[in-house]
Amino acid sequence: MRTFRSFAKLNLHLEVLRRRPDGYHELRTVFQAVDLFDLVRIGWFAGAGIELEVAGADLPRDRRNLAYRAAEAFVARFPETCARRGLRIELDKRIPVQGGLGGGSSNAATVLLGLAALSGLDARAPDLAAALGETARALGADVPFFLVGGAAVGEGRGDRLTALDDALVRPLAPGRALWLAAPAFGISTREAFAHVAPRSEAPPFPALAAALAGEPVALEDLIGDNDLEGPVLAGRPELMALYTQLVRSGARRVRMSGSGSTLFALYGDPAAARPIADLLPPGTVWMQVATLGRAEWWRAGGFDSSEGGS
């Protein structure tokens, strides 16, 4: 079996612009890959069908799991690469479930990229990238980002992507540090969107407009708003208490990632963040993460098809 890293994401910014006729919401969001990851092991076996095993979380091992559906979709799209072989997938879960970090979507995309690599296919070749992107969009709105990594702007449902060049997004300044606070409970996407009030459409804020225009921008300046944050915090007093605690700890910025429940905090002094672990509610995971540029994300994920084989 071959092992891949399935990285998490943060939403540095998330606007809910309007409700669409298809029932989804029109979004504008800034995705950023971070170095928290699940492990995904993929291999062929003599037989037929798809086997999925999951460690580290109580998750389904059948079609209810997005990774399983991603494998089904790949086999259906590229039957010649999978003929007369069974497929086994093992997930080692480390990304908090329902934490707004995209773990399930990342697993699905990693299965697509991993199967391409195992099949000796170049997932960055334009035709194959387009086919994988179409497959990813059918699986879920966040899945396409995890075929891209690095930093990217998502529009539409979040699945229409503009990748931001590594050379144009300046990393955090020396001394800055990102920490995640993942509480013991998760929040479903349905709950997060239940009470959101879409804002009227407006041009992107200055740093985002600059990034979309191909101008250099500091990653820290791309941390904007999250329109889901207010309604979720109002409905979850325990998360509001955690948010308030982080604000009072001296963090430069505190935001909820995606639909929650994970909060991320930006500190100017990494040492100031470490003692906070002792003050957080029981079960809260407190960890430092680093952002990943696109090239580093691809390399660390293990997606190079040149290794081939099974």
Query: DSSP code of 48?
Result: S
**Residue 109 vs residues 137, 225, 285: alpha-carbon distances, Å:** 10, 26, 25
Strand pairing of 86-92 and 50-55? parallel
Strand pairing of 25-45 and 2-19? antiparallel
Classify residue 181 by burial, with Cβ atoms within 10 Å: 0-12, 13-18, 19+. Answer: buried
Is 142 among the catalytic positions?
Answer: yes
CA distance 136 to 289: 26
Helices (H), the chain: 66-77, 79-82, 103-118, 126-139, 189-193, 206-212, 229-235, 237-248, 270-273, 294-301
Q: Is the peptide bond before 261 cis (omega within 30 degrees of 0)?
A: yes
Is 159 among the catalytic positions?
Answer: no
CA distance 235 to 231: 6
Q: Name the catalytic one among 38, 142, 159, 227.
A: 142
Q: Name the catalytic one among 9, 38, 159, 227.
A: 9
Q: Give me 302's structure tokens.
A: 């293990």
Strand pairing of 169-170 and 217-218? parallel
Contact present, 261 and 187 (Cβ < 8 Å): yes
Catalytic site residues? 9, 142
